[in-house]
A and B are shown apart, each in its own frame.
Chain A
Amino acid sequence: MSFVRLILRNVAVRRLRSALTAVVVAIGVLTVVTLGIVLSSIRTSALAVLQTGRADFTVSQKGVADVLNSNIDASDVAGIRRLPGVADNAGALIATTRLNRENPIFLQVGLRPEDFGAFGVTLVAGQAYAEDSPHDVLLGWRAARNPGLHVGDAFDLAGDHQRVVGIFSTGQALGDAGMMLPLSTFQAAERQPGEVTLVFVRAAPGVDVQALRTTLERNNPQLVTVRTASDFGRADRSLQLIEAAAKGTTLLAVLIGAVIVLSTTLMTYLERLREFGVLSAIGWSRLRVLTLVLAEAGVVGLVGAAVGVGLSFIVTLLLQRTPDLVGVLQVHYTTDVFWRALITALGTVTLGALYPAVRAARLSPLEALRHE
């Protein structure tokens, strides 16, 4: 018999208790992994808006709760364009609205036709609108596909009759499920004349992008630049708050799980006092006894992690089909998910089993053997 087999045997002998403990761990893993997947998805979707096109970085108003609440004045856009090292920039007014049940978050982007290149817009059908046309719009190919709209078709949005003059692609799921319209038309409709939400900046070849960002932020203290996912929190506080809440929930899930694991492991420890006494009496070292108890908990934790990950896949699939999240939640399963599950599960069982394991290892064999 190998040590591993002994561990598995001990877990299997207490099937019901091991299964219940694994369920507790699985619930913790489910919570943590699902939150992680949803958060990562929200971050990816939000970041997709910021990283649309061929921009080297995006500029947003500093300290806004939601990046879509950012307001940048036209004079700032012009100032950015004049900065040495800036090859091109595009200001876009961005808003969301509910289109229908399938598109609860429909992205509307006001953009000048000459900025399509900087924004990364590729026309796949039709033509661009004129900047002064009040009713011409472009639809993303995803937005056009579902209702089967084509160039020349009418498109109604909140009672306004629009005409589809072209179909575009940006390579971003959220963007391709939205629409574009002339910047000035959209600014008038939103009552935000001369304002944009974000500015997409392309640096001239050979320019140090990081240095350019630093200069831009120094010259415009009300603005912030975003280039990577880790920069996102600088522009969007709500995501920061959600992430903080998720961390708190993770910690809570691990702690609650650990307390439950502690109670079941302590119960098992009390039942096995005599066994631990025998092991010590026949010459098992404290380290081996400690390893035995922790490894048994580890096996239960691994089972819990596997079950938790499986359940989280199911839950995220269901969430994706929730009307309010259709199109928003783009679930990406990464290796990070599995690491998160493993760390949560092993953290939970280690926290819960450490005290009983140490007690078992330090147990006086005589006291244990006297135990009935």
Chain B
Amino acid sequence: MSEPLQSPGPRSGGGQTVERDQLPTLPHRGRATVPAVSVRGLSKSFDRGRVTALDLESLTVDLGEFVSITGPSGCGKSTLLHLLAALDRPSSGSVQVFGQDLRRLPSPTRYRRTEVGIVFQLQNLIPQLTARENVEIAMFGTGLRRGERRERATQLLADVGLVEQADRPPTRLSGGERQRVAIARALANSPRLLLADEPTGSLDADSIERFLALLERLRRQQPELTVVMVTHDEQVAAVADRVISMQSVADSPTPG
């Protein structure tokens, strides 16, 4: 059904199988086409190689698949997400998204604008703008006219149940509402890959429930949408098709 996910460990150089599918998963919807995400021998280090944040042997996410990535703090979950979003460049290895090698992207901003939607833990909405405007600004540079951007933003906010709050600034929205605005913004340009970094980390239980219901609904509406979600909450992770558990890089065994 799926290939093993391996992390060689930063200092060992040897391969280490990372636990996976430890939590209940939905059926794997693999397809015979180019995978949504394909990672090989990926590593990211900082401080001139002295600190290794991520060391991942392989990972494949199929088109339309919903994958949750869990693991302890510092295991490189968010780093992986940043690399998939082309927010950062790997130190070595290859990352391919929909067949594009992210190391050779002519324009990472164009890639983020057209292929990827990102939801952050802290939402990162722009405070001086309304909910609708926060969604609209993601569509600048896409060729849509002002009226079309406004119409689409309103529709997206309606989809996440916030049409009545469209003209409110983020300061007048609850944490859950802000997260839903962030989802609407992430979906503004109809991305094929949705990346969510601890999207429920700052939400209360009710908001988490609403967020997960929204994700489920989105996936039903857009079965081609691939979702990679980083979370430390196992219950949240469990709603995915597949749960990948990453180990801390520091916990990896060393040779000898």
CB distance from B11 to the nearest CB of A (A): 25
- The 10 lowest CB-CB distance pairs between A and B, nearest first, are A283-B113, A283-B112, A13-B128, A278-B124, A282-B138, A1-B133, A1-B136, A285-B109, A2-B146, A366-B87
Q: Flag if A10 contacts B113 (CB, 8 Å).
A: no
Q: Which residues of A contact B136 (CB under 8 A)?
A: 1
Of residues 131 through 158 on chain B, the ones whose CB sits less than 8 Å from some CB of chain A are 132-133, 136-138, 140-141, 146, 149-150
Residues of A within 8 A of B60 (CB): none
Known contacts A1-B150, A366-B82: A283-B141 contact under CB 8 Å = yes
Contact count A vs B, C-beta below 8 Å: 68
Residues of B within 8 A of A279 (CB): 137
B107 at the interface (CB under 8 A from A): yes
Once the chains bind, are B124 and A284 in contact (CB under 8 Å)?
no
A283 contact from B82, B114, B124, Cβ within 8 A: B114
> Quick one: which of B128, B149, B150 contacts A9, CB cutoff 8 A?
B128
CA distance A286 to B113 in the complex (A): 13
User: Are B124 and A1 in touch, CB under 8 angstroms?
Assistant: no
Question: Which A residues fall within an 8 A CB radius of B?
Answer: 1-3, 6, 9-10, 13, 274-275, 277-286, 288, 364-366, 369
Residues of B within 8 A of A (CB): 82, 85, 87-88, 107, 109-114, 118, 120, 124-126, 128-129, 132-133, 136-138, 140-141, 146, 149-150, 185-186, 188-189
- Across the interface, name the chain A residue whose C-beta is closest to B133: A1
CB-CB under 8 A from A281, the residues of chain B are 85, 87, 112, 118, 120, 124
Contacts of A277 in B (CB 8 A): 124
For B125, what are the chain A residues with a Cβ–Cβ distance below 8 Å? 278
Q: Are B120 and A283 in contact (CB under 8 A)?
A: no
Q: Say yes or no: A284 contacts B141, CB within 8 Å.
A: yes
Q: Which residues of B contact A10 (CB under 8 A)?
A: 128
List 8 extra interface pairs beyond A1-B149, A6-B129, A284-B113, CB under 8 A.
Answer: A6-B133, A13-B128, A275-B126, A280-B112, A283-B109, A284-B140, A285-B107, A285-B110
Residues of A within 8 A of B150 (CB): 1
Rounded to whole angstroms, the CA-CA distance of A286 and B111 in the bound complex is 13
Assess the B141–A282 pair: CB atoms within 8 A.
no
Q: Among the interface residues A3, A6, A13, A274, which one has the most CB atoms of the partner chain B within 10 A? A: A6
**Given A1-B150, A2-B146, A6-B137, are A282 and B113 neighbors across the interface (CB < 8 Å)?**
yes
Q: A13 to B133: give the CA distance in the assembly, Å.
A: 15
25 contacts between A and B (CB under 8 A): A1-B129, A1-B132, A1-B133, A1-B150, A2-B146, A6-B137, A9-B128, A275-B126, A280-B109, A281-B120, A282-B112, A282-B118, A283-B110, A283-B111, A283-B113, A283-B114, A283-B141, A283-B189, A284-B140, A285-B107, A285-B141, A365-B87, A366-B82, A366-B88, A369-B124
Best-buried of A1, A9, A285, A366 by chain B (most CB within 10 Å): A1
**Chain A positions within 8 Å of B88 at CB level:** 364, 366
- Which residues on the B side are within 8 Å of A365 (C-beta)? 87
**Cα A277 to Cα B87 with chains together (Å):** 10
Contacts of B82 in A (CB 8 A): 366
A272 to B, closest residue via Cβ: B126
Nearest Cβ in chain B — how far from A158, in angstroms? Answer: 69
CA A278 to CA B128, docked complex, whole Å: 14
Nearest Cβ distance between residue B124 and chain A, in whole angstroms? 5
User: Are B137 and A282 in contact, CB atoms less than 8 angstroms apart?
Assistant: yes
- Please give the distance in Å from B58's CB to the nearest CB on chain A: 24
Q: Which of A6, A9, A278 has the most CB of B within 10 A?
A: A278
Question: Contacts A1-B146, A285-B141, A366-B82 known; A274 to B124 CB distance under 8 Å?
Answer: yes
Which residue of the partner chain, among B109, B133, B185, contacts A286 with CB atoms under 8 Å?
Answer: B109
* Cα–Cα distance between A281 and B122 once the two chains are bound (Å): 14
Question: Roughly how many angstroms separate A364 CA and B82 CA in the complex, as a whole number?
Answer: 12
In the bound complex, how far is the Cα of B59 from the Cα of A170, in angstroms? 93
Give bound CA distance, A281 to B82, whole Å: 10
Give CA–CA (A6, B129) in the complex, Å: 8
Chain B residues lying within 8 Å of A274, measured Cβ to Cβ, are 124
The docked-state distance in angstroms from the alpha carbon of A274 to that of B120 is: 12
Contact A9 B141 (CB under 8 A): no
> Which A residues are CB-close (under 8 A) to B124?
274, 277-278, 281, 369
Q: Which residues of B contact A9 (CB under 8 A)?
A: 128-129
Point out the residues of chain A lying under 8 angstroms from B110, CB to CB: 283, 285
